[in-house]
Amino acid sequence: MARRSRHRLLLLLLRYLVVALGYHKAYGFSAPKDQQVVTAIEYQEVILACKYPKKTISSRLEWKKLGRSVSFVYYQQALQGDFKERAEMIDFSIRIKNVTRNDAGKYRCEVSAPSEQGQNLEEDTVTLEVLVAPAVPSCEVPHSALSGTVVELRCQDKEGNPAPEYTWFKDGIRLVGNSKVGSQSTNSSYSMNTKSGTLQFNTVSKMDSGEYSCEARNSVGHRKCPGKRMQVDDLNISGIIAAVVVVALVISVCGLGVCYAQRKGYFSRRVVLHRKPLQ
């Protein structure tokens, strides 16, 4: 009896497993495929391929862009949104003629088709990465500086993808540092960080006066900001001494004036009020 019970239990388990697999095949999703990563340069074209094995008349296709909210790209046999004007369908794939940085993200194609067991749904995911050339970087260069002080020049671009590296120029000549230090290129007078775009003078001198410009560069392109002049002057010791002497003379004159006024009794005079006698 125990053997028969075990045998029946195994048969029931096998039947349940077969039914479950058949239901998954008929109505469930297919096993996920390896995700594709497609790279494109901005304003060029790109193809988002849907790797579905074959196309039939009864197949239904949908493309969606995933994110915080899911939006349709291709729905009910028509492209949606601004893709109507700059994209076209090639079988199950989408050809975007003029890709922009806003197109970057994750896309999913969903293909449903009837099968012997029912409606079968397959999907494929594509990640689109858009490479963007740098814009004209923002350059901060002080107009003037005092010799011997610390001065920092800044250069930044917020549009480039991948993030650009920065190079500084003085009077049109590229500033070259010590490549052994990596991203921190240094020499005797300045330190340059090619990642953050800073150019720092620990002790700036008159020899550092000139016109400075910065270039942002990545694998797509490069842009340069207009040159800005920085004038470095020595500290005017004689002028400072003269100013101190003038201030001292003014204070002395004011002090003598106060003493003279006190001696003359200008500060000790009192106003005497005369009262009229009562009648």
pLDDT for the residue numbered 14: 47
Burial (CB < 10 A; 0-12, 13-18, 19+), residue 190, is buried
Q: Measured between alpha carbons, how far is 99 from 103 in angstroms, rounded to an integer?
A: 6
Q: What 8-state DSSP symbol labels residue 42?
A: T
What's the pTM? 0.66
Q: What is the model's pLDDT at position 218? A: 97
Q: How many domains does the chain have?
A: 2
Tokens describing residue 3:
């053997």
Q: Are residues 77 and 160 in the same domain?
A: no
Based on the fold, state whether residues 111 and 189 are members of the same structural domain.
Answer: no
**Which strand ranges, in their side-by-side order, compose the sheet holding 105-115?**
36-41, 118-131, 105-115, 60-66, 71-75, 78-79
Average pLDDT, consecutive stretches of 10 residues, N- to C-terminus, the chain (279 residues): 54 46 39 75 95 71 94 94 94 94 95 78 93 97 95 96 96 75 56 95 94 97 97 72 62 67 61 50
Q: Report the CATH number at residue 82.
A: 2.60.40.10
Q: What is the pLDDT of residue 174?
A: 95
Q: What is the pLDDT of residue 196?
A: 95
Residues 92 and 165 in one domain: no
Range of the domain at 84: 36-131
pLDDT of residue 20: 42
Write down the pLDDT at residue 64. Answer: 96
pLDDT of residue 59: 83
With 0-12 CB in 10 A as exposed, 13-18 as middle and 19+ as buried, what is 206? exposed
Same structural domain for residues 123 and 201? no
